[in-house]
Chain A
Amino acid sequence: MTGPTLAADTPMAGGQWGPPVYEARNIVKNYGHVRALDDVSISVRPGEVVGLVGDNGAGKSTLVKCLSGAFAPDSGHLVFEGTERQWRSPHEVHSAGVETLYQDSGLAPDLSIRANIFLGRESRRPGLLGWLGFLDEPQMAVSANAQLERIGVYIPSTDRRVDELSGGQRQAVAIGRAVAWAKKVIILDEPTNHLGARQSAEVLDVIRQAGQSGIGVLVVSHTLPHIFEVCDRIVVLRLGKVVADEPASDFTADSLVKAITGFQRKTNPLGP
């Protein structure tokens, strides 16, 4: 398993990012008469962590689904590594090196941690048995641990069934899996949902590391402090339109909430 290279792809100090690894230009998507996405453009560069925020119904999920190949946009362009692509299936996007972790789609609870990590990419035994589809469990056991350790999630044994894990543990495994496999881009939909403070911190650590390893990361979240904590750039969607796309350092908590809601709120937006 080759990991993404480090140093070479990391952004330079002055915020000099390379060209986008994945880009959506002028995306329009309608549901019947409802325009869910209206001329939306967004890009993510290698090593960059981009936050996508917006109120419920702003179009975040629709945009994620367009990027992951689950939906085809009605118009607009998806440009991956400089080439315009017309994805025919999520599978194709997946093979190109874009991992998407949907909220709550997570893991298969009846399978072991290891089976989940390798789901869809199982190692087969050599020779005839492999051709017949026989699985190489010992090889996967070694490689699963190596993959998880590489991205900073340490698991003593991957034999346990996922339904014996707590919600936070499952999320750690799910994100670990996505980060471990992502070759170019990883899209995370609400990765810290339902997690305690400490576990969220660990998940954010994994996200930061994914960025540092040269992968483009797109994080969708309602939890604005988490967005501020890990993102280099923040894109704000409101009613299907991009209303802001700035370096994270250009936002304050107030200005971000204002961008999201379109008006200044009196209450503390960052919550407890």
Chain B
Amino acid sequence: MPSRTDVEVLSADANEPHPIGAGAVGLRGRLWQLATNQQMLLLFALLFLVAAFTSQNARYLSTRSFANILQDWAPVMLMATGETFVIISGGIDISVGSILGLAGVVCALVMQSMTVGGADPGLTIAAGVGVGALVGLGVGLVNGLMVTKLGLAPFIATLATLGAAYGLTLVISHGQQIGGGPQAVTTVGNSVYLGMFTVPLITVIAIVAASSMLLAWTQFGRWTQAIGSNRFSARGAGIDVNRHLLMLYAFSGVLAGLAGVVVYFRLASGAPTSGSGQELTAIAAVVIGGASLSGGSGSMVGTILGALIISSILSGLIFIGIEPSWQQVAVGGIIAGAVFVQGLTRPAGRAA
């Protein structure tokens, strides 16, 4: 019969007055409060922004304007979803914007040539969507292999594909917008239900919902967090860390590819520059949402709110008449501010 090591004894050292897990119920309550508070704060920030922009321009508070914000939000949210997983795992993927552009252009070229060839519009759209996702998967796998097999830092690996994918986009599009897809694209992309929902938007919401469950409630999500929190302990626990990281970068790539498809449906053409700078917006959404850039923590609810906040700001800046070129400046400032605030609120003793 094993004797029980009483926890009061185990931690009787003067400097360790608390038994393991003691007061956990109260603590869980407190943590829950804290988490909800952080997300409540984001929600308040969002409401405050809406109020502020509305006070400057009353048209900001309208279904039409919200529909626009959600249209902007959809591709950002897709990229930010993959980015949330990658950042929680302790990495970063700065190639998502370039993947968006490349996937959009390839998707447009496929649809254009199939339409010229007289293919069925439904089939054409399916092929275009599939190819867009595959392009994302391909670049994502390259990212993942560079990180896991070559041991490159994620920032460097995805910086390489950021450049390469953008260059490739310009090569295959000759710098031109690619239109000429089936008419149905415009119908699908711009038919609005309930005042603000389009088919691509609904698809994005479904993907985001599924990803949220994946992160919070499944083994895949748990392992993602464990790897970001302590990679050695994850490996020691028998997790195939490299395989998991490869899947994460592939996942991020696919979602960025689909973001390109979403943009294509909105514009009915593939624009080579549509993704440039978008990686900043995606990363900003994740860090506003509270994910730690050093890995180990973050949530999809936070990222969803973060992406809404950033889309609202970008849209609001236009509403109050600020030149669109200032948008990137705003995004940069928001990232710095969010990370700074995180540093203030991070509990001491995080290290060790």
Q: CB-CB < 8 A to A166: which residues of B?
A: 11, 15-16, 18
Are A120 and B5 in contact, CB atoms less than 8 angstroms apart? no
Are B2 and A168 in contact, CB atoms less than 8 angstroms apart? no
Between B11, B22, B347, the greatest number of chain A beta carbons within 10 A of the residue's beta carbon is seen for B11
Instruction: Give the contacts of B26-55 with A (CB-CB under 8 A).
Output: 27-28, 31
Interface residue from B2, B18, B217 paired with A135 (Cβ < 8 Å):
B217
Q: Is B68 an interface residue (CB 8 A)?
A: no
Interface size class of B (residues with CB under 8 A): 35 or more
Are B2 and A150 in contact, CB atoms less than 8 angstroms apart? yes
Are A160 and B236 in contact, CB atoms less than 8 angstroms apart? no
Q: In whole angstroms, what is the CA distance A2 to B347 when docked?
A: 39
Among residues of A, the one whose C-beta sits closest to the C-beta of B10 is A202
Instruction: Give the contacts of A206-260 with B (CB-CB under 8 A).
Output: 206, 209, 212-213
Instruction: Give the contacts of B186-221 with A (CB-CB under 8 A).
Output: 213-214, 217-220
Q: Is A91 an interface residue (CB 8 A)?
A: yes
Closest CB in chain A relative to B1 CB, distance in Å: 8
Which among A10-18, A19-27, A44-52, A102-110 touches the partner chain?
A: A102-110
Are A156 and B219 in contact, CB atoms less than 8 angstroms apart? no
Q: CB-CB < 8 A to B229: which residues of A?
A: 108-111
Closest CB in chain A relative to B351 CB, distance in Å: 9
Q: Is A205 an interface residue (CB 8 A)?
A: yes
Q: CB-CB < 8 A to B20: which residues of A?
A: 113, 153, 155-156, 160, 165, 169, 172-173
Closest CB in chain B relative to A55 CB, distance in Å: 25
Instruction: Give the contacts of B1-25 with A (CB-CB under 8 A).
Output: 2-7, 9-13, 15-16, 18-22, 24-25
Q: Is A76 an interface residue (CB 8 A)?
A: no
Q: CB-CB < 8 A to A115: which residues of B?
A: 222, 226
Closest CB in chain A relative to B11 CB, distance in Å: 6
Are A105 and B236 in contact, CB atoms less than 8 angstroms apart? yes
Closest CB in chain A relative to B243 CB, distance in Å: 10
Q: In whole angstroms, what is the CA distance A205 to B347 when docked?
A: 33
Among residues of B, the one whose C-beta sits closest to the C-beta of A95 is B238
Are B350 and A149 in contact, CB atoms less than 8 angstroms apart? no
Q: In whole angstroms, what is the CA distance A133 to B213 when docked?
A: 10
Q: Is A122 an interface residue (CB 8 A)?
A: yes
Interface size class of A (residues with CB under 8 A): 35 or more
Between B218, B237, B349, the greatest number of chain A beta carbons within 10 A of the residue's beta carbon is seen for B237
Are A120 and B234 in contact, CB atoms less than 8 angstroms apart? yes
Are B10 and A108 in contact, CB atoms less than 8 angstroms apart? no
Q: Is A90 an interface residue (CB 8 A)?
A: yes
Instruction: Mark interface residues in A33-66 (1 if CB within 8 Å of B CB, else 0).
Output: 0000000000000000000000000000000000
Closest CB in chain B relative to A129 CB, distance in Å: 9
Closest CB in chain B relative to A218 CB, distance in Å: 16
Q: CB-CB < 8 A to B338: which residues of A?
A: none
Are B24 and A157 in contact, CB atoms less than 8 angstroms apart? yes
Are A135 and B219 in contact, CB atoms less than 8 angstroms apart? yes
Q: Is A84 an interface residue (CB 8 A)?
A: no
Instruction: Mark interface residues in B240-275 (1 if CB within 8 Å of A CB, else 0).
Output: 100000000000000000000000000000000000
Are A152 and B5 in contact, CB atoms less than 8 angstroms apart? yes
Q: CB-CB < 8 A to A158: which residues of B?
A: 21, 24
Q: Is A132 an interface residue (CB 8 A)?
A: yes
Q: CB-CB < 8 A to B219: which residues of A?
A: 122, 124, 133-135
Q: Is A151 an interface residue (CB 8 A)?
A: yes
11 contacts between A and B (CB under 8 A): A111-B229, A119-B237, A133-B218, A133-B220, A135-B218, A153-B10, A154-B6, A156-B20, A157-B21, A166-B18, A168-B13
Contacts beyond the supplied A132-B218, A156-B22: 9 A-B pairs with Cβ under 8 Å: A100-B236, A107-B233, A108-B234, A134-B219, A152-B2, A163-B352, A169-B10, A198-B13, A209-B3
Which B residues form the contact surface with A (CB < 8 A)?
Answer: 2-7, 9-13, 15-16, 18-22, 24-25, 27-28, 31, 213-214, 217-220, 222-223, 225-226, 228-230, 232-240, 296-297, 347, 349-350, 352
The 3 closest A-B pairs by CB, nearest first: A157-B24, A120-B237, A110-B296
